């Protein structure tokens, strides 16, 4: 059974990593999929930031393969695999959903985030490079992306303005990231991924002082201390 679970996680991770080939050219939610079109929304990071997915896919896949090879029967690795399998399985289906329904894609990305955080918390402390670090990078980016999706839906369906949605969601993402990284006290890749996304939000807003760029930069700066703390504990 442990080997079977390890192989399952690997196969689901492989499907997740290959999913961009099923939906090539995906660049975020179609602005016209919303009742209120979301053109150039301030909550969304600059496009270059999404390149982090290449690192995430490769590192998760390498970690899953290493886990099958060396730690398929290790209880410490086994503890994180059920939650990670859920996140990878949902992630493999996310892109086809995202091109059709921003609302359902937002629901699914939150499922991915919660299960990824559970997996991160249960990840083994030893062999961090293959276990907690790739999962941390993935969970960190999802922490930023989940609030971005929430902000797009909130503004896109007229619940609030783009500006208010950006301020609220970037603020909440920053608070969540600080709390998780501080309480986790390891896997600095989590905070690094969130900071990467927050800085990209500031870039999207041209670093202007009258925009959410200020809050995004403050959120990224606040993560420096817990990231350093996590580096020392790793």
Structural domain contains residue 33: no
Contact 62, 70 (CB under 8 A): no
**Spatial CB neighbours of 223, under 8 Å, sequence gap ≥ 6:** 174, 177, 178, 181, 191, 194, 195, 198
Q: Supply the pLDDT for residue 149.
A: 97
Q: Supply the pLDDT for residue 1.
A: 66
pLDDT in tens, 128-140: 999 999 999 999 9
- The pTM assigned to this predicted structure is 0.96
Q: Supply the pLDDT for residue 131.
A: 95
Q: Which domain holds residue 149?
A: 1-21+43-233
Task: Choose between 105 and 2: higher pLDDT.
Answer: 105
Binned at pLDDT 50, 70 and 90, residue 42 comes out as very high
Binned at pLDDT 50, 70 and 90, residue 190 comes out as very high
> Is residue 106 exposed (0-12), middle (13-18) or buried (19+ Cβ within 10 Å)?
buried
**pLDDT at residue 74 greater than cutoff 90:** no
Q: Supply the pLDDT for residue 174.
A: 98
What total of structural domains would you count in the chain? 1
Structural domain contains residue 184: yes
Structural domain contains residue 142: yes
Q: What tokens does 223 get?
A: 């993560």
Structural domain contains residue 194: yes
DSSP letter string, 94-144: HHHHHTT-HHHHHHHHHHHHHHHHHHHHHS-STTTTTTHHHHHHHHHHHHH
């Amino acid at each position: 059974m442990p080997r079977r679970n390890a192989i399952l996680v690997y196969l689901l991770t492989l499907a997740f990593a290959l999913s961009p080939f099923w939906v090539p050219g995906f660049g975020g939610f179609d602005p016209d999929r919303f009742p209120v079109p979301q053109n150039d929304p301030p909550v969304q990071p600059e496009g270059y930031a999404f390149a982090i997915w290449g690192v995430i896919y490769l590192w998760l896949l390498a970690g899953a393969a290493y886990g099958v090879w060396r730690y398929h029967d290790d209880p410490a690795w086994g503890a994180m695999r059920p939650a990670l399998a859920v996140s990878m399985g949902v992630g493999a289906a996310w892109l086809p959903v995202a091109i059709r329904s921003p609302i359902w894609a937002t629901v699914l990305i939150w499922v991915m985030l919660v299960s990824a955080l559970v997996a991160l918390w249960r990840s083994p402390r030893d062999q961090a490079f293959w276990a907690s670090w790739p999962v941390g990078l993935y969970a960190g980016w999802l922490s930023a992306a989940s609030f971005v999706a929430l902000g797009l839906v909130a503004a896109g369906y007229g619940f609030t303005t783009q500006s208010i949605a950006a301020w609220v969601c970037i603020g909440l993402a920053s608070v969540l990231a600080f709390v998780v990284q501080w309480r986790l006290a390891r896997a600095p890749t989590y905070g690094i991924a969130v900071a990467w996304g927050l800085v990209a939000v500031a870039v999207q807003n041209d670093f202007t002082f009258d925009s959410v760029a200020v809050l995004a930069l403050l959120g990224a700066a606040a993560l420096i201390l817990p990231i350093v703390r996590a580096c020392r504990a790793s």
